[in-house]
């Protein structure tokens, strides 16, 4: 069994779930995580940025790799490369709705427009991979479970060992209601585990998706951005939010890991959005958040951290605890 009952998994998020973010999540209870989505063609052609995305820290106890693509020859070569690397599972992306992925008829577009070829691509990956293979995809109709269930059963027959199902349509991207009944129908129809995904932002929403879908295994995506504590929060009935001091310390460790991993210049170019994610919804003044958009060196970061350590207006003294994000 890839994941035990009640497993909480960090989703692969392009532009976010790099090694420093995964280590941050791991410090706060995340046990199962994925690389960012890796493009099969970029991997085959040795793109340096892609190889950086594929890096696994020795500190990571479990790491899955997610692959996106549609060309059979390229997928086969990419799987061959991944077979030489250290991962625990290979996930095939049939769910990404991003325009640049949709334009190439990959991700959810591949599943919707060329389902026969998508299933054959999965069969090819399963045949050549030394790793267990899973699939992440989306619902195909918000009201009627039948199209989604039929496609998932084909994925199961093709060798998928688990399926993560995002309960929103392609056009909805990452907002709006989640189709719990469709996910429940999939769970009841399949023999393999169905992992519920979509809208988990705190313990309450995690309990809701488990209750409404019948899936004990869940995947957290955007709820973890700037909030690695969510993995502790969903597991602990009496979760205690971090103090301002603990909050600031985690930002410093996260950005420090980014500097070590990318070098100072690139770390701050990438890390601006990371800092904004931490500050968003926490009550900090808008001017502080705005200044994060211009960070470019360690000296300026230290000045910003002094301000962060003072706490938001609603929690001026550091021993007080931040309100959990909703």
- Mean per-residue pLDDT, 186-199: 98
Closest CA to 244 of 290, 313, 292, 326: 313
> How would residue 316 be classed by pLDDT, with cut points 50, 70 and 90?
very low
> How would residue 88 be classed by pLDDT, with cut points 50, 70 and 90?
very high
- Mean per-residue pLDDT, 68-88: 97
Please write the tens of the pLDDT for every residue from 175-184: 899 999 999 9
In the chain, where the domains are located: 8-235, 244-310
Q: How far apart are CA 214 and CA 230, in angstroms?
A: 21
- Mean per-residue pLDDT, 184-211: 97
Which is more confident, 321 or 207? 207
**In 3-state terms, what secondary structure has residue 196?**
strand
Considering the entire predicted model, what is its pTM? 0.94
What are the b/e assignments for 192-211, b being 16+ CB within 10 Å?
bbbbbbbbbbbbebbeebbe
Helices within 64-215 (DSSP H only)? 72-82, 99-102, 108-113, 115-128, 146-157, 180-189, 203-213
Which is more confident, 227 or 321? 227
Q: What is the pLDDT of residue 70?
A: 98
Does 320 have pLDDT greater than 70?
no
Residue 69 contacts residue 39 (beta carbons within 8 Å):
yes
| Catalytic positions | 96
Q: Which of 49-58, 208-217, 275-284, 308-317 has the lowest mean pLDDT?
A: 308-317
Q: What is the pLDDT of residue 116?
A: 98
Q: What is the pLDDT of residue 48?
A: 83
Does 317 have pLDDT greater than 80?
no
Helices within the chain (DSSP H only)? 19-27, 40-44, 48-53, 72-82, 99-102, 108-113, 115-128, 146-157, 180-189, 203-213, 230-235, 244-262, 264-279, 286-292, 298-310
As assigned by CATH, the class of the 8-235 domain is alpha beta
Q: What is the pLDDT of residue 325?
A: 52
């Amino acid at each position: 069994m890839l994941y035990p009952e009640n497993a909480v998994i960090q989703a692969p998020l392009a532009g976010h779930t790099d090694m420093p973010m995964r280590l941050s999540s791991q410090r706060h209870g995340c046990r199962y995580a994925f690389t960012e989505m890796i493009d099969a063609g970029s991997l085959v052609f040795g793109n340096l940025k892609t190889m950086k995305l594929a890096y696994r820290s020795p500190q990571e106890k479990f790491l899955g790799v997610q692959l996106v693509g549609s060309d059979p020859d390229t997928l086969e070569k990419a799987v061959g490369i991944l077979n030489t690397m250290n991962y625990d599972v290979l996930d095939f992306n049939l769910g990404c709705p991003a325009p640049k992925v949709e334009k190439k008829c990959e991700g959810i577009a591949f599943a919707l427009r060329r389902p026969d070829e998508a299933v054959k691509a999965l069969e090819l990956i399963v045949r050549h991979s030394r790793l267990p293979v899973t699939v992440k995809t989306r619902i195909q109709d918000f009201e009627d479970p039948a199209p989604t269930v039929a496609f998932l059963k084909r994925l199961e027959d093709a060798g998928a060992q688990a399926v993560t199902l995002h309960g929103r349509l392609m056009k909805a991207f990452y907002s709006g209601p989640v189709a719990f009944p469709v996910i429940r129908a999939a769970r009841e129809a399949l023999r393999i585990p169905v992992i519920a995904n979509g809208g988990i932002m705190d313990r309450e929403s995690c309990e809701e998706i488990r209750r409404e879908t019948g899936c004990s295994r869940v995947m957290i995506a955007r709820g973890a951005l700037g909030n690695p504590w969510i993995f502790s929060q969903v597991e602990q009935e009496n979760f205690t939010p971090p103090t301002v001091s603990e909050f600031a310390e985690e930002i410093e460790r996260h950005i420090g890991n980014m500097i070590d991993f990318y070098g100072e210049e690139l770390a701050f170019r990438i890390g601006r959005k990371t800092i904004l994610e931490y500050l968003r919804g926490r009550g900090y003044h808008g001017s502080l958040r705005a200044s994060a958009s211009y960070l470019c060196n360690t000296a300026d970061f230290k000045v910003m951290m002094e301000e962060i350590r003072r706490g938001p207006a609603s929690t001026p003294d550091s021993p007080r605890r931040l309100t959990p994000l909703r």
